[in-house]
Homo-oligomer: A and B are copies of this chain.
Amino acid sequence: MRKAVILLSGGLDSAVTLAQARSLGYACYALTADYGQRHRIEISRAGKIAAAFQAVEHKVVNVNLRSFGGSVLTGNDPLPHVRENPGDQNDIPGTYVPARNTVLLSLALAWAEVLRAEVIFIGANAVDYSGYPDCRPEFLEAFQRLARLGTKAGTIGSWQIKVEAPLINCSKAQIVKLGEKLGVDFSLTISCYNPGPEGRPCNACEACMFRKKGFSEAGIKDKPEVVNGL
């Protein structure tokens, strides 16, 4: 059975990505980073999602990006207000975490090489998103090239590790519809950057706004995000 490493944050997009990888027949190894995010409740949600889709293994790796700072997601400042024109690549908000996807993909690459996995799946999306540079196709292509040059697998090994972002060109509504089709339990996922103690979404941050728009446009009712025992 072909293996894949799936970057799983506990959010909507990565849950749908895991569901997609499963539907394609991959043995799925889910990887979550505890990087010092303020919304670390997503880590426990990732575990539930991994279990729901029969991931072979779910690994949580600590990498303290909070020690570098540079983002409201790894600090204590108030979250920025929702912008009028989110997704503008010339206006990257304070929720951007420097080099986060580079770090996450490099960890996935390490595991993929050890597992002899063929693919790294990432839920990156370049449509209804916040304009982060490390969610764009050209970034992901550059990473795949790097993965070939920087591994034993890609040089003298017998296989290339590919990077797949099946949602890269989907709107949030399309992602919701795909998730529904693939049987994603939306109640397990959490999108909010600033959730309450029980995982209750703030309904005020950009991530909440994108989620709300997606469900609304898809004509699907979002499930309550409060899960017993988080």
What is the interface of chain A, defined by CB distance below 8 A to chain B? 59, 61-65, 67-70, 89-92, 96-103, 105-107, 109-111, 113-114, 133-134, 136, 138-139, 142-143, 145-147, 149-156
Q: Which residues of B contact A149 (CB under 8 A)?
A: 133-134, 136, 138-139, 142
Query: What 9 A-B pairs are tightest by C-beta distance, nearest first?
Result: A70-B114, A99-B110, A98-B113, A134-B150, A102-B106, A99-B109, A133-B155, A103-B106, A139-B149
Bound CA span A103–B133, Å: 19
B146 near A139: Cβ-Cβ < 8 Å: yes
Q: Which residues of B contact A146 (CB under 8 A)?
A: 102, 139, 142-143, 146
Copies in the complex: 2
Q: Which residues of B contact A156 (CB under 8 A)?
A: 89-92, 133
A157 to chain B, nearest CB (A): 9
Q: Which residues of B contact A102 (CB under 8 A)?
A: 106, 109-110, 146-147, 150
Shortest Cβ distance from A108 into B: residue = B99
Given contact pairs A63-B63, A70-B110, enumerate 11 new A-B contacts (beta carbons under 8 Å): A61-B64, A62-B62, A92-B155, A96-B152, A98-B109, A102-B106, A102-B146, A103-B107, A134-B151, A142-B142, A142-B145
Bound CA span A61–B69, Å: 13
Q: Which residues of B contact A103 (CB under 8 A)?
A: 103, 106-107, 110
